[in-house]
Amino acid sequence: MSQTAEILIVDDEPDIRQLLRVYLGAQGMRVIEADCAASARKRLEQARPDMALIDLGLPDEDGLTLIRHVREQHQLPIIILTGRGETVDKIVGLELGADDYVTKPFDLRELLARIKSVLRRAESAPKAVREPEQLRFAGFSLHLREHRLCDSAGQEIVLTHGEFKLLAALARGARTPLTRDQILELTHGREAGAYDRTVDMQITRLRRKLGDDPKRPNLIRSVRGVGYMLACAVESGDQS
């Protein structure tokens, strides 16, 4: 992991931005600052940072909305900075595509370790293998590049970022059970600890959106003592 990484800091507290600018700068990293979501969007039009640290409590826009934008439009690794204590904010942030989070007040050395860990994962993620543009199963089309799911009539079924990553993981390993730990690693890329239940909640929502009876599911089945699997054939191919 190169220490010359460029980090976008999105936080409306000047003291926090200055603290991170000085500390990360001393570690050889470059820092871009934004005090609100609008400023962050402008910065992203002008530069291509290696990572974004995003505060949830922004003055002009919910940080969760910005996280979705940064992940979907810029594909950047994200660490959430939050002073909020509610578990749900962290869960939603991870589902929207954030890679990790730290709660204010944070220890600078711990934050640095998390930054390096997320950057290493981003750098080591496979890039050379070309996967198909879409996976088709049970009348559904999962468009991997566009992050879209469509039914047999071509109508889009809206998924959160976390739901999409979960369904993609199940589709890539169709008819092979995945443990909750495997699912969490594939979808969040981190030790989720207390958030194992997020997998169960996402499975429930996916079943509902796919029209899969939660009492007698045919598509996403529970495997006792293991986890979940997509229990149907999956075909791959390019979009027509």
**Along the 240 residues of the chain, how does pLDDT read in single tens digits?**
445 899 999 999 999 999 999 999 999 999 999 999 999 999 998 888 999 999 998 999 989 999 988 988 888 999 999 876 666 777 888 888 899 999 888 999 999 999 999 999 888 765 545 567 899 999 999 998 888 999 999 999 999 888 998 999 999 888 899 988 888 877 765 444 435 677 888 899 999 999 999 889 999 999 988 899 999 999 987 644
CATH superfamily of this structure's domain 6-124: Response regulator (3.40.50.2300)
The helix/strand/coil state of 100 is strand
Cis bond before residue 132 (omega within 30° of 0): no
Q: Are 34 and 8 in contact (CB under 8 A)?
A: yes
Q: Which fold has domain 134-237?
A: Arc Repressor Mutant, subunit A (1.10.10)
Strands 6-10 and 30-34: parallel
Counting Cβ atoms within 10 Å, is residue 30 exposed (0-12), middle (13-18) or buried (19+)? Answer: middle
Q: What pLDDT sits at residue 84?
A: 63
Cα torsion at 141, 142, 147, 150 (round to 10°)? 30
Alpha carbons within 13 A on the beta-carbon side of 162: 25
The CATH 3.40.50.2300 portion of the chain extends over 6-124
Q: How far is CA 186 from the centre of its chain?
A: 10
Return phi, psi of residue 85, to 5°: -100, -10
131-190 pLDDT, tens digit per residue, is: 678 999 999 999 988 889 999 999 999 998 889 989 999 998 888 999 888 888 777 654
Stretch(es) of the chain classified as CATH 1.10.10.10: 134-237
Task: Look up residue 201 and give its two tokens.
Answer: 């909640």
Give the pLDDT of residue 85: 64
In this prediction, residue 123 carries a pLDDT of 83
Q: Do the Cβ atoms of 7 and 53 come closer than 8 Å?
A: yes
CA atoms of 122 and 127, how far apart (whole Å): 10
CA–CA separation, 129 and 194 (whole Å): 33
Residue carrying the six token digits 């730290």: 102
pLDDT at 145: 81
pLDDT at 180: 85
Chain length of the chain: 240
